[in-house]
Amino acid sequence: MQDWNYFFRLIYKWVLFVKRKLKIEKIILESYDPFFYSVLDVSEQHRGHQNFKENVESHFEIIVVSDKFRNIKRIDRHRMVNHSLKDEFCADLHSAIIKTYTVEEYKNI
């Protein structure tokens, strides 16, 4: 019985980590009503770095295009997104490269 409990705890931890991309996408959709967004897991690019963990979604590149960013400074936009992801940062999310645009800015790129 103890072996099964250990096994289920490991599976539960794995599911929590593997689903991080989906959780981040859900947070973005609910918080920013984006015109466009992209969430890329770039964790594998950090293999060999200090504190790299195998099979853990820990590094992301995130693009959010939303008119909720209108008239907000870039640094404040990043703070907004970081704040939205605070629970993920507390649960092993190590870094996120964040790019934020209004719809108008994005169309002019």
Domain that holds residue 22: 2-107
pLDDT in the model for residue 18: 54
Cα separation, 109 vs 103, whole angstroms? 10
CATH code at position 90: 3.30.300.90
Count of residues for the chain? 109
pLDDT of residue 74: 96
Total number of domains constituting the chain? 1
Residues of the chain where predicted confidence (pLDDT) is lower than 50? none
Amino acid 10: pLDDT: 64
- CA-closest candidate to residue 64, choices 27, 96, 101: 101
**Per-residue confidence (pLDDT) for residue 43, from 0 to 100:** 76
> What pLDDT is attached to residue 13?
60
In the numeric block, the tokens 């590094």 are attached to 59
Per-residue confidence (pLDDT) for residue 51, from 0 to 100: 61
Average per-residue pLDDT for the chain: 84
Q: What is the rounded CA–CA span in Å between residue 65 and residue 40?
A: 15
For residue 17, the model assigns a pLDDT of 52
Cross-sheet strand order for the sheet of 95-101: 36-41, 59-65, 95-101
Consecutive H or E run containing 99: strand 95-101
